[in-house]
Amino acid sequence: MGKVCIEGVGKFYQHYPSVVAVVTARIGEKANAMAAAWHSALSFEPPLYGVAISPKRFTHDLVLEAGEFGVNFLPLEKAGVIAAVGGSTGREVDKFEVFKIAEDKPVLTSVPILAEAYAAYECKLVSHHIFGDHTWFVGEIVMVHLVEGALTDEGMLDLSSVKPAMYLGADRYVTAWCESLCYLDRKAWTKG
Protein backbone atom coordinates (compact mmCIF):
# COMPACT_ATOMS: atom_id res chain seq x y z
CA MET A 1 0.00 0.00 0.00
CA GLY A 2 1.40 3.38 -0.98
CA LYS A 3 1.57 6.51 1.14
CA VAL A 4 0.45 10.01 0.32
CA CYS A 5 1.89 13.26 1.60
CA ILE A 6 -0.33 16.21 2.41
CA GLU A 7 0.68 19.69 3.43
CA GLY A 8 -0.80 20.66 6.80
CA VAL A 9 -2.47 18.38 9.29
CA GLY A 10 -6.01 18.40 7.91
CA LYS A 11 -8.56 17.32 10.51
CA PHE A 12 -5.65 16.46 12.87
CA TYR A 13 -6.99 13.02 13.83
CA GLN A 14 -3.93 10.99 12.81
CA HIS A 15 -2.75 10.53 16.42
CA TYR A 16 -6.05 9.06 17.67
CA PRO A 17 -7.49 6.93 19.18
CA SER A 18 -6.50 7.98 22.66
CA VAL A 19 -8.18 7.84 26.04
CA VAL A 20 -10.34 10.90 26.51
CA ALA A 21 -10.39 12.69 29.86
CA VAL A 22 -12.95 14.93 31.49
CA VAL A 23 -11.17 17.87 33.10
CA THR A 24 -12.95 19.49 36.03
CA ALA A 25 -12.49 22.64 38.08
CA ARG A 26 -14.39 24.58 40.72
CA ILE A 27 -14.38 28.08 42.21
CA GLY A 28 -16.91 28.33 45.02
CA GLU A 29 -20.27 27.34 43.55
CA LYS A 30 -19.04 27.58 39.93
CA ALA A 31 -17.94 24.19 38.62
CA ASN A 32 -17.31 22.88 35.15
CA ALA A 33 -16.39 19.73 33.28
CA MET A 34 -14.97 19.57 29.76
CA ALA A 35 -13.80 16.81 27.45
CA ALA A 36 -10.07 16.81 26.67
CA ALA A 37 -8.34 14.54 24.19
CA TRP A 38 -4.97 16.27 24.64
CA HIS A 39 -3.49 15.21 27.97
CA SER A 40 -0.51 13.22 29.24
CA ALA A 41 1.46 11.91 32.18
CA LEU A 42 4.71 13.89 32.44
CA SER A 43 6.71 12.66 35.43
CA PHE A 44 6.78 9.87 38.02
CA GLU A 45 8.54 11.91 40.70
CA PRO A 46 6.85 14.18 41.37
CA PRO A 47 3.71 12.73 39.74
CA LEU A 48 2.87 15.36 37.12
CA TYR A 49 0.02 15.35 34.62
CA GLY A 50 -0.67 17.81 31.81
CA VAL A 51 -3.80 18.91 29.97
CA ALA A 52 -4.21 21.24 26.99
CA ILE A 53 -7.12 23.67 27.29
CA SER A 54 -8.09 26.45 24.91
CA PRO A 55 -8.33 29.92 26.51
CA LYS A 56 -11.83 30.06 24.96
CA ARG A 57 -13.03 27.38 27.39
CA PHE A 58 -14.70 28.26 30.70
CA THR A 59 -12.58 25.59 32.42
CA HIS A 60 -9.41 27.46 31.40
CA ASP A 61 -10.24 30.43 33.63
CA LEU A 62 -11.48 28.22 36.47
CA VAL A 63 -8.19 26.27 36.54
CA LEU A 64 -6.14 29.47 36.54
CA GLU A 65 -8.18 30.98 39.37
CA ALA A 66 -8.50 27.82 41.46
CA GLY A 67 -4.93 26.65 41.00
CA GLU A 68 -6.12 23.05 40.71
CA PHE A 69 -7.96 20.71 38.36
CA GLY A 70 -9.34 17.20 38.16
CA VAL A 71 -8.74 14.61 35.45
CA ASN A 72 -11.48 11.98 35.19
CA PHE A 73 -11.48 8.85 33.03
CA LEU A 74 -14.86 7.42 32.03
CA PRO A 75 -15.79 4.08 30.48
CA LEU A 76 -17.13 3.86 26.93
CA GLU A 77 -20.70 3.42 28.18
CA LYS A 78 -20.46 7.00 29.49
CA ALA A 79 -19.32 8.47 26.15
CA GLY A 80 -22.62 10.38 26.06
CA VAL A 81 -21.55 12.30 29.16
CA ILE A 82 -18.18 13.04 27.54
CA ALA A 83 -19.89 14.32 24.39
CA ALA A 84 -22.35 16.39 26.45
CA VAL A 85 -19.69 18.17 28.51
CA GLY A 86 -17.52 18.59 25.43
CA GLY A 87 -20.30 20.04 23.31
CA SER A 88 -21.70 22.66 25.67
CA THR A 89 -20.26 25.66 27.46
CA GLY A 90 -20.08 26.02 31.22
CA ARG A 91 -20.53 29.76 30.84
CA GLU A 92 -24.14 29.14 29.83
CA VAL A 93 -25.02 25.77 31.37
CA ASP A 94 -24.49 24.13 34.74
CA LYS A 95 -23.37 20.84 33.23
CA PHE A 96 -23.57 18.94 36.52
CA GLU A 97 -27.24 19.89 36.92
CA VAL A 98 -28.35 19.72 33.28
CA PHE A 99 -26.65 16.37 32.53
CA LYS A 100 -27.25 14.97 36.04
CA ILE A 101 -23.57 14.27 36.65
CA ALA A 102 -23.00 12.79 40.09
CA GLU A 103 -19.87 13.69 42.04
CA ASP A 104 -17.71 11.95 44.59
CA LYS A 105 -16.17 14.10 47.28
CA PRO A 106 -12.58 15.23 46.60
CA VAL A 107 -10.03 14.59 49.35
CA LEU A 108 -7.26 17.20 49.01
CA THR A 109 -8.74 19.73 46.58
CA SER A 110 -12.14 21.18 45.72
CA VAL A 111 -12.22 19.78 42.14
CA PRO A 112 -15.26 17.77 41.05
CA ILE A 113 -14.57 14.03 40.95
CA LEU A 114 -17.05 12.30 38.65
CA ALA A 115 -18.81 9.38 40.33
CA GLU A 116 -18.88 7.48 37.01
CA ALA A 117 -15.09 7.72 36.56
CA TYR A 118 -13.14 4.47 36.88
CA ALA A 119 -10.09 6.60 37.73
CA ALA A 120 -9.62 10.27 38.59
CA TYR A 121 -6.78 12.55 39.64
CA GLU A 122 -6.88 15.54 41.94
CA CYS A 123 -4.14 17.89 40.69
CA LYS A 124 -2.58 21.03 42.15
CA LEU A 125 -1.48 23.43 39.40
CA VAL A 126 2.32 23.80 39.27
CA SER A 127 2.80 25.45 35.89
CA HIS A 128 1.08 26.62 32.74
CA HIS A 129 2.41 27.73 29.36
CA ILE A 130 0.77 28.90 26.17
CA PHE A 131 1.56 26.81 23.09
CA GLY A 132 -0.17 28.02 19.93
CA ASP A 133 -3.91 28.21 20.55
CA HIS A 134 -3.92 26.17 23.81
CA THR A 135 -2.55 26.50 27.31
CA TRP A 136 -0.69 23.47 28.68
CA PHE A 137 -1.58 23.12 32.36
CA VAL A 138 0.71 20.97 34.50
CA GLY A 139 -0.57 19.66 37.80
CA GLU A 140 0.93 17.53 40.53
CA ILE A 141 -1.31 14.57 41.27
CA VAL A 142 -2.06 14.75 44.98
CA MET A 143 -4.81 12.11 45.13
CA VAL A 144 -5.94 9.22 42.93
CA HIS A 145 -9.50 7.85 42.97
CA LEU A 146 -10.01 4.32 41.61
CA VAL A 147 -12.98 2.00 41.25
CA GLU A 148 -12.22 -1.29 42.99
CA GLY A 149 -11.16 -3.90 40.45
CA ALA A 150 -10.27 -1.33 37.77
CA LEU A 151 -6.59 -2.29 37.89
CA THR A 152 -4.78 -5.60 37.57
CA ASP A 153 -2.31 -6.79 40.21
CA GLU A 154 0.39 -5.22 38.01
CA GLY A 155 -1.31 -1.81 38.31
CA MET A 156 -2.56 -1.67 34.70
CA LEU A 157 -6.12 -1.02 33.61
CA ASP A 158 -8.04 -4.31 33.73
CA LEU A 159 -9.65 -4.45 30.30
CA SER A 160 -11.85 -7.35 31.37
CA SER A 161 -13.67 -5.05 33.81
CA VAL A 162 -13.21 -1.54 32.34
CA LYS A 163 -13.73 -0.43 28.74
CA PRO A 164 -12.01 2.99 28.52
CA ALA A 165 -13.62 5.66 26.35
CA MET A 166 -11.16 6.49 23.58
CA TYR A 167 -11.64 9.37 21.17
CA LEU A 168 -11.22 8.53 17.48
CA GLY A 169 -12.00 12.03 16.16
CA ALA A 170 -15.08 13.60 14.58
CA ASP A 171 -17.33 12.76 17.57
CA ARG A 172 -16.55 9.04 17.40
CA TYR A 173 -15.51 6.86 20.34
CA VAL A 174 -14.01 3.37 20.56
CA THR A 175 -12.55 1.21 23.31
CA ALA A 176 -9.85 -1.38 23.92
CA TRP A 177 -10.84 -5.02 24.36
CA CYS A 178 -8.98 -7.50 26.55
CA GLU A 179 -8.98 -9.97 23.62
CA SER A 180 -6.72 -7.57 21.71
CA LEU A 181 -4.11 -7.41 24.48
CA CYS A 182 -0.66 -8.34 23.21
CA TYR A 183 2.31 -8.74 25.57
CA LEU A 184 5.74 -8.26 24.03
CA ASP A 185 8.74 -8.97 26.20
CA ARG A 186 10.96 -5.93 25.67
CA LYS A 187 14.10 -8.03 26.10
CA ALA A 188 13.15 -10.22 23.14
CA TRP A 189 12.83 -7.14 20.90
CA THR A 190 15.94 -5.20 21.84
CA LYS A 191 19.61 -5.64 21.12
CA GLY A 192 22.56 -4.82 23.31
Distance, CA of 18 to CA of 109 (rounded, Å): 27
Distance, CA of 55 to CA of 113 (rounded, Å): 22
Amino acid occupying residue 24: T
Q: pLDDT digit string (tens) for 135-179?
A: 999 999 999 999 999 999 999 999 999 999 999 888 888 898 777
Amino acid occupying residue 189: W
The residue count for the chain: 192
Whole-prediction pTM? 0.91
Name all domains of the chain by residue range, CATH numbers in brackets: 18-189 (2.30.110.10)
Q: pLDDT digit string (tens) for 13-54?
A: 777 788 999 999 999 999 999 999 999 999 999 999 999 999
